[in-house]
Structure 1
C-alpha cells in the first residue's frame, strides 16, 4: 500500500481546523462531546501525519506508532519542570504538549486513532474491490 501524501496532508489540515473549531465552539457542544472530541481529533491528526510521513507502512503499524506518540505526550504531562511548563504556557506549546495527565485523554486518543485506522482500512477495501 502506498498512501497519497497530498490526501494525507489535506486531511491533516482539515483535522487541525476541526480541532481548533471544537475548541472555539465548545460552549455549544454537549459535555460528553467536549470531553473527547478535541483529543480524538488531535490523535487523528497524528495518525494522518504519520500516514503522510510513512507512505508504505501498514495501517496497523501506523496506528501503533501514532498511539505510542500520543501516549508518550500524555505521560510527559506528569513531568513538570519550569522550562517545559513555560513551553506549555504558550498557545502552541499547550496545544501540542497539553497541560496535565488525564485518563480520558488516553481513551480519546485510542478512539481517534481507531476511527482513522478503520476509515483507512475501509477505504483500502473499497479501492481493492474497484480494481478487481
Structure 2
C-alpha cells in the first residue's frame, strides 16, 4: 500500500504521466486498504467495496457545501477527497480496482498451487 501511495504521489509530479493514472492508483490503494480491513471477506467483496468508496468520494465532489469546500482546501485532504468531479475518474477507478483485484486473485491462485 505504501508503494502504491508513493507511485500515486510521484505520478502527480511527472508531467508526462496522465492524471488518470493517479486516480487509478488511488483505487488500487483503496482496494489494498479494503483487503487489509476485510481480510476474511471475499476478493469480490473488496472489489465492490473499493469501487463503492471511490465512487462515493467522486460523487461527493459534486456537493459544494462550504464545509466540504474548506476541508478540500487542505493539501492532504485534497489528495484524499479530490477537488472536482470528472466522469473519467470513474473509469480510472474501475480500471485501478480491477487491476488490483486481478493481481490479488492471481496471487491467491498461485499460493494455493
Q: TM-score band, normalised by the shorter chain?
A: over 0.9
Residue matched to 2:8 = 19
- Deviation, structure 1 residue 28: 3.1
TM-score by length of 2: 0.96
Residue 55 of structure 1 aligns to a residue in which SS?
Answer: coil
Q: Does 1:91 align with 2:75?
A: yes
Give RMSD over aligned pairs: 0.8
CA contact (8 A) 1:35 1:104 kept: no
- Equivalent positions of 1:57-96 (< 5 A) are 57-96=41-80
- TM-score normalised per structure 1: 0.83
Is the 2:20–2:88 Cα contact (8 Å) retained in structure 1?
yes
- In the alignment, which of 102, 106, 114 is matched to residue 86 of structure 2? 102
Find the structure with the greater CA-based Rg.
1
> Corresponding residue for 1:115?
99
Structure 2: runs of 5 or more not aligned: none
How many residue pairs get aligned? The number is 113
Structure 1 stretches of 4+ with a deviation exceeding 3 A read none
